[in-house]
Amino acid sequence: MALIRWTPGFMGWERDPFAELERMRREMDRLMGAFFPTRGIGRAAGVFPAVNISEDTNNIYVRAELPGIKADDIEISIEDNSLIIKGERKIPEEGENVTYHRREREGGIFRRIISLPAKIDVDKVTATSKNGVLEIVLPKAAESKPKQIEVKTA
């Protein structure tokens, strides 16, 4: 069935040539989705874990959401002014004869690389995990901190 839309135009009512193409595109997407589900391939990938990065005069703070991941399954390292968070999210299997109605929670190995805005004192970095939120405190190196320069009168 063809649906023709008429829109107000410069010289009265005109046919919208793109409305039908858009409707056909949506219908094709719906049909293709029925035959080729987008699970995995072709689906827009999210970034995991989600992070917030903030800083003050002395530290850079990275807070990452890692619900259900044990501290033993997280690996943190700093290489070339980048913070690397690696780990594995383990989702237990529901059973052999289970039919899913919706499956949005994914498991597997993840790796997140974050460029740091300043040099870090690597020996003083701390990380804690509480209620599914990993907090990493990265103290700035002395050369990265702002320095106050006194102006002398001559």
* pLDDT tens digit sequence for 58-91: 999 999 999 888 888 899 999 988 999 999 888 8
Q: Are residues 82 and 10 in the same domain?
A: no
* 42: pLDDT strictly greater than 50: no
Q: What is the mean pLDDT of residues 130-147?
A: 89
So what's the pLDDT on residue 28?
Answer: 83
So what's the pLDDT on residue 119?
Answer: 92
In a domain, 1, yes or no: no
Q: What is the pTM of this model?
A: 0.63
Q: Are residues 88 and 14 in the same domain?
A: no
Residue 43, Cα to own-chain centre: how many angstroms?
A: 14
Question: Which CATH number covers residue 88?
Answer: 2.60.40.790
Q: Are residues 66 and 109 in the same domain?
A: yes
Q: Are residues 64 and 25 in the same domain?
A: no
Beta strands in the chain (DSSP E): 6-9, 12-15, 51-55, 59-65, 74-79, 82-89, 108-115, 126-130, 133-139
The region of weakest confidence among 32-36, 68-72, 139-143 is: 32-36
Q: Are residues 27 and 85 in the same domain?
A: no
> 79: closest CA among 44, 45, 116, 104?
116
Question: Where residue 10 falls among pLDDT bands split at 50, 70, 90?
Answer: low
Q: Are residues 31 and 59 in the same domain?
A: no
Q: Are residues 27 and 65 in the same domain?
A: no
Which pair of tokens denotes residue 19? 């409305």
The parent domain of residue 68 ranges over 51-94+102-143
Q: Are residues 82 and 116 in the same domain?
A: yes
So what's the pLDDT on residue 85?
Answer: 95
Q: Are 61 and 53 in contact (CB under 8 A)?
A: yes
pLDDT more than 90, % of the chain:
38
Q: What is the mean pLDDT of residues 104-117?
A: 88
10 Å Cβ neighbour count for 81?
A: 11
- Position of tokens 């049909």? 31
Q: Are residues 16 and 68 in the same domain?
A: no
